[in-house]
Amino acid sequence: MDPGRLCHNNMLEKDSRIYIAGHRGLVGSALLRRLEAEGFERPITRTHGELDLSRQAEVEGFFESERPDYVFLAAARVGGILANSTYPADFIRDNLRIQTNVIDAAYRGGVKKLLFLGSSCIYPRDCPQPMKEEHLLTGPLEPTNEPYAVAKIAGIKMCEAYNRQYGTRFVSVMPTNLYGPGDNFDLEHSHVLAALIRKFCDAKAAGAGSVTVWGTGSPRREFLHVDDMADACVFVMEHYEGDGILNIGTGKDMTIQELAGLIRDVVGFKGGIRFDPARPDGTPQKLLDVSRLASLGWKSRIPLREGIEATCTWYRDNVGAGPGGGVSMPREGS
């Protein structure tokens, strides 16, 4: 396997045909914001209603007519610990379909470069921390999200196999837990950071006495702002080549208890924090070793507190007061 290297021959041009699959999701929308802010003329996007990525013929037709040169594959069925364990079949089926259709159509359509978004949950449950890229497939996965992780691993291996057999240039990145504007704030299906922003904001508004946090509070997680993620995706698209997967994170983690305390502080909630150990903790620690990407020249910039403040503001402006309080099913997105 080609371990990967720095390259400078893939700079995105303002008129490049860039397709963002999943542009309404957390990462896809951040990528679109980023490219539009930099004056890219026409990132190509399709809503789910316009193009169902789980349907092969539709995807092939789209690639034939649009002929993208670069593809950010940020479309997926995603969700937190409960959504993953409640809908395991949907998670494995939809992700396998979407990524298989897009990767294969990208090859057939002669796409110059594709960036596939994996996830840090592809690493073994008991992976040595911080998790290095070479730990992939060295042990059993965390059971709460195994079907999702297996689909993502299949996507990574598909990119590698296409590179080897067909000479494509498809790269895979593994983001840590992401958060930011556009996140899913649904209490049952979201990830922890968005769920806690909602719980603390709503508890403050309602004058509640305490907020309940799932699990024991002891698991450790790492959190990356999605604008940093978008920046890293563009960096990797332009500057990295090879089969080796790349971790994207901050390199720092904290306990769920510490995270809850930080969000409580940012929101200004004065009540208490309770833990509900009847809810699953999931994997005990998820911290990425980001030295590989750092050695290529990229590191995260947005401090966690600042990112949480901005996300709280976004939540209050866009979700909190809206109809239904942002309740939604897990959706296609990052």
Q: Please identify, using beta-carbon distances, which residue of 171 and 213 lies nearer to ligand GDP.
A: 213
Cβ neighbours of residue 123 closer than 8 Å, sequence gap 6 or more:
131, 135, 136, 174, 286
Q: How near is the Cβ of 148 to ligand GDP at its closest, in Å? A: 9
> Looking at 4, 130, 175, 282, which residue binds ligand GDP (CB under 6 A)?
282
Using CB under 6 A as the binding rule, whether residue 31 contacts ligand GDP is answered as no
* Number of residues engaging ligand GDP in binding (CB under 6 A): 22
Q: How near is the Cβ of 308 to ligand GDP at its closest, in Å? A: 14
Which residues 176-215 are close enough to bind ligand GDP by CB under 6 A? 177, 190-192, 195-196, 213-215
Cβ neighbours of residue 216 closer than 8 Å, sequence gap 6 or more:
275, 277, 281
* Residue 295: how many other CB atoms lie within 10 Å: 9
198 φψ region: left (φ > 0), alpha (ψ -120 to 50), beta (else): alpha
Q: How near is the Cβ of 192 to ligand GDP at its closest, in Å? A: 3
Q: CA-based angle 294:178:85, to the nearest 5?
A: 125
Tell me the residue number closest to ligand GDP, measured at CB.
Answer: 80
Q: How near is the Cβ of 294 to ligand GDP at its closest, in Å? A: 23
> Can 148 be counted among the known catalytic residues?
yes
Q: Please identify, using beta-carbon distances, which residue of 80 and 155 lies nearer to ligand GDP.
A: 80
Using CB under 6 A as the binding rule, whether residue 264 contacts ligand GDP is answered as no
Active-site annotation holder among 19, 87, 107, 148:
148
Using CB under 6 A as the binding rule, whether residue 81 contacts ligand GDP is answered as yes
Q: How near is the Cβ of 178 to ligand GDP at its closest, in Å? A: 10
Q: How far apart are CA 258 and CA 117, in angstroms?
A: 28
Which residues 106-135 are close enough to bind ligand GDP by CB under 6 A? 121
Cβ neighbours of residue 188 closer than 8 Å, sequence gap 6 or more:
82, 83
Q: How near is the Cβ of 269 to ligand GDP at its closest, in Å? A: 14
Q: How far apart are CA 149 and CA 147, in angstroms?
A: 5
Using an 8 Å Cβ cutoff, are 280 and 125 in contact? no
DSSP SS3 for 160? helix
Q: At what angle do helices 192-206 and 256-267 cross, to 10 degrees?
A: 40
The pair of three-digit structure tokens given for residue 328, joined into one six-digit string: 């939604």
Cβ neighbours of residue 275 closer than 8 Å, sequence gap 6 or more:
212, 213, 214, 215, 216, 217, 257
> Looking at 221, 264, 292, 331, which residue binds ligand GDP (CB under 6 A)?
221
Stretch that binds ligand GDP, among 20-28, 58-66, 162-170, 276-284 (CB under 6 A): 276-284
Q: Please identify, using beta-carbon distances, which residue of 35 and 192 lies nearer to ligand GDP.
A: 192
Q: How far apart are CA 201 and CA 211, in angstroms?
A: 10
DSSP H or E stretch at residue 196:
helix 192-206
Q: Please identify, using beta-carbon distances, which residue of 160 and 228 lies nearer to ligand GDP.
A: 228
Instruction: Give the binding site for ligand GDP (CB under 6 A).
Output: 80-81, 121, 145, 177, 190-192, 195-196, 213-215, 219, 221, 256, 279-283, 286
Residues annotated as catalytic are: 148
